[in-house]
Amino acid sequence: MSRATQFAGPEAAEILAELSTLRERDAPTHGGRVLSYVYDSGLAELDALARDAAELTRPLNALDPTTFPSVAVMERELIGFMRKALNGPATKLGGGPVVGSVTSGGTESCLLAVKTARDLWRAEHPELAAKLARAGKRPRLVTPATVHAAFQKAARLFDLEWDPVVCEPDGSVRVSGFEQKLGADVALVVVSAPAYPNGAIDPIAEVAGIAKEFGLSCHVDACFGGLALPWWPGLAPWDFRVPGVTSISADLHKFGYAPKGVSVLLHRGRRRHRAQFFATTSWPGYPVVNPTLLGSKPASPLAAAWAITKRLGNEGYAELTASCVRSAETIVREASLIRGLSVWGAPSGPSIALVADESLPEAERVDPHHLADELATLGFRIQHQPGFTQPGGVRLPHTAHLTITPVTEGTLPELVDALRAAADAVRGKPQANPRLELLGLRALGYAPKRDGGTFRVPSPDAAWRILRLAGAGGDGGKASSLPGRLAPLMALAERLPAPVAEAILSELLARVSEP
Ligand X SMILES: *Cc1c(COP(=O)(O)O)cnc(C)c1O
Binding site for ligand X (CB under 6 A): 105-107, 110, 148, 150, 192, 196, 221, 223-224, 251, 263
CB closer to ligand X, 188 vs 463: 188
Residues paired with 351 in a beta bridge: 403
Minimum CB separation from ligand X for residue 106, in Å? 2
* Beta carbons of 154 and 223 less than 8 angstroms apart: no
From the CB of 5, what's the least distance to ligand X, in Å?
42
- Give me the sign of the Cα torsion angle 419, 422, 425, 427: negative
Q: Tell me the C-alpha to C-alpha distance, in Å, between residue 435 and each of 54, 65, 491.
A: 50, 58, 10
> What is the rounded CA–CA span in Å between residue 388 and residue 398?
7
Taking the least distance from each CB to ligand X, the nearer of 75 and 374 is: 75
CB-nearer residue toward ligand X: 46 or 150: 150
Residue 419 dihedral angles phi and psi, to the nearest 5° = -60, -45
Q: Is there a contact between 127 and 197 (Cβ–Cβ < 8 Å)?
A: no
Measured between alpha carbons, how far is 32 from 408 in angstroms, rounded to an integer? 5
Least distance in angstroms from the C-beta of 147 to ligand X: 8
CB of 108 to ligand X, least distance (A): 7
Nearer of residues 144 and 488 to ligand X, judged by Cβ: 144
Count Cα neighbours of 229 within 13 Å in the Cβ-side half-sphere.
Answer: 31
Q: Which is nearer to ligand X, 82 or 432 (CB)?
A: 82
Q: Is the dihedral of CA 158, 161, 165, 169 positive or negative?
A: positive
Q: Which residues contact 294 (CB under 8 A, 6 or more apart)?
A: 63, 104, 108
Q: State the nearest-atom distance from the C-beta of 448 to ligand X, in Å.
A: 32
- Cβ closer to ligand X: 114 or 242? 114
Nearer CB in complex with ligand X: 26/451: 26
Give the shortest CB-114-to-ligand X separation in angstroms: 12
CB 382 within 8 A of CB 401: yes
In whole angstroms, the minimum distance from the beta carbon of 386 to ligand X comes to: 17
DSSP string, 159-192: T-EEEEEPPPTTS---HHHHHHH-STTEEEEEEE
Cβ-contact 455, 497 below 8 angstroms:
yes
Q: Least Å distance between CB 264 and ligand X?
A: 11
Alpha-carbon gap, residue 186 to 211, rounded angstroms: 10
Q: How far is the CB of 95 from ligand X (least distance, A)?
A: 24
Q: Which is nearer to ligand X, 67 or 506 (CB)?
A: 506
CA separation, residue 195 to residues 25, 204, 404, 406 (Å) = 31, 12, 14, 20
Could you please report the per-residue DSSP string of 207-264? HHHHHHHTT--EEEEETTTTTTGGG-TTPPP-STTSTT--EEEEETTTTT-PPSS-EE
Nearest to 114 by CA among 80, 157, 74: 157
CB of 151 to ligand X, least distance (A): 8
Burial (CB count <10 Å: 0-12, 13-18, 19+), residue 512: middle
User: Could you tell me the smallest distance in angstroms from the CB atom of residue 37 to ligand X?
Assistant: 9
Which of 36, 330 has the CB closer to ligand X? 36
Q: How far is the CB of 219 from ligand X (least distance, A)?
A: 11
